[in-house]
Amino acid sequence: FEKLKEGLRKSRETFFNQITKILRSRRLDEDTKAEIEELLISADVGVEATEYIIKRLEEAKPEDTFGTLKEILIEILSKPNGLNIPAQKPFVISMVGVNGSGKTTTCGKLAAMFREEGKQVVIGACDTFRAAAIDQLRIWAERAGATFIAHMEGADAAAVAFDAVNHAISKSKDVVILDTAGRLHNKRHLMEELAKINRVIKKVLPEAPHEVLLVIDAVTGQNGLQQAKIFREIVGVTGIVLTKLDGTAKGGIAIAIAKELGIPIKFIGVGEGLEDLKPFDPRDFVEALLA
């Protein structure tokens, strides 16, 4: 919790502390409502969620607006936030998101988390577009103690995915993490590539991928939300990983994502290290934001 609290320090100190102070010391009149509204928007909570929050605050008992705010935020953020782990291994996770969002780093962090649980992990380098990206992922796989499956630069992404899943099946590995390409500027091509990866791995494992995790950089705020809408359209996203929360004061983007996308946040990134990925817990998150 302390790490989470530190990760959310900027968001807390810049915006949410002020909201806390207002709700704890003043009546909810038109002025305070306008101030809270502005703070929520500035924190990237988004118009839709902000309007909803204000409406609910108006209905709250005047002496308990702060407690009510906490409960509303927790309610918005609470979706089924856990992983869809299948009864039979391997558990296949496809990682999607634009370049720079923290996808490669998150693959390494996730692998490390599963390794901590004693699981055997395979990482597949399905972003074959740049050799540097493959090398970087290799370093993360080594750090995390995961088996690394890659082909040459420019190779067929689906062939890499196929090899990674097959390797996991034949060696009884627990988890497969596929790092996919994130060049959103060629939407049709990306859609075809992701669809082909899915098609090919389903040949050996019909239920796979069990999770498609979309990595969003919290620093990009509302822009990241727009990207998320595009990914939701081109591939069935099952969960969000919100990275770089430590690098922004606009942690309210988590609330906008939950409210507007209806996709559960499953993990958050609060730093660059291997251990800086946390399973998302709505209550802890809100407690850290409003602490």
Q: Which residues are annotated as a binding site for GTP?
A: 97-104, 179-183, 243-246
Helix (H, G, I), strand (E, B) or coil at 167: helix
Q: Least CB distance from residue 245 to ligand GDP, whole Å?
A: 7
Q: Is residue 282 a contact point for ligand GDP (CB under 6 A)?
A: no
- Is 24 buried (19+), middle (13-18) or exposed (0-12) by CB count in 10 A? exposed
CB atoms within 10 A of CB 253: 26
Q: With respect to ligand GDP, which residue has the nearer C-beta, 65 or 104?
A: 104
Q: With respect to ligand GDP, which residue has the nearer C-beta, 40 or 244?
A: 244
Q: With respect to ligand GDP, which residue has the nearer C-beta, 3 or 167?
A: 3
- Mark the segment that binds ligand GDP (CB under 6 A) among 57-65, 68-76, 220-228, 270-278: 270-278
The residue among 82, 140, 102 whose CA lies nearest residue 243 is 102
Q: Least CB distance from residue 243 to ligand GDP, whole Å?
A: 4
Helix, strand, coil in percent for the chain, rounding step 5:
55, 15, 30
Count of alpha carbons within 13 Å of 218, Cβ hemisphere only? 30
Q: How far is it, in rounded angstroms, from Cα 73 to Cα 68? A: 9
Q: Least CB distance from residue 284 to ligand GDP, whole Å?
A: 16
Q: With respect to ligand GDP, which residue has the nearer C-beta, 50 or 243?
A: 243
Q: Is residue 210 a contact point for ligand GDP (CB under 6 A)?
A: no
- What is the separation, in whole angstroms, between the first and last Cα of the chain? 11
Q: Least CB distance from residue 71 to ligand GDP, whole Å?
A: 27
The residue among 30, 53, 26, 18 whose CA lies nearest residue 259 is 53
Q: What stretch of H or E contains 4?
A: helix 2-7
Q: Is residue 123 a contact point for ligand GDP (CB under 6 A)?
A: no
Instruction: Out of 272, 275, 279, 283, point to the residue binding ligand GDP (CB under 6 A).
Output: 272
Residues contacting 17, CB < 8 A, separation 6+: none
Q: Least CB distance from residue 270 to ligand GDP, whole Å?
A: 6
- Mark the segment that binds ligand GDP (CB under 6 A) among 32-40, 78-86, 103-111, 253-261: 103-111
Q: Is residue 276 a contact point for ligand GDP (CB under 6 A)?
A: yes
- Mark the segment that binds ligand GDP (CB under 6 A) among 12-20, 34-42, 101-109, 183-191: 101-109
# residues near ligand GDP by CB under 6 A: 17
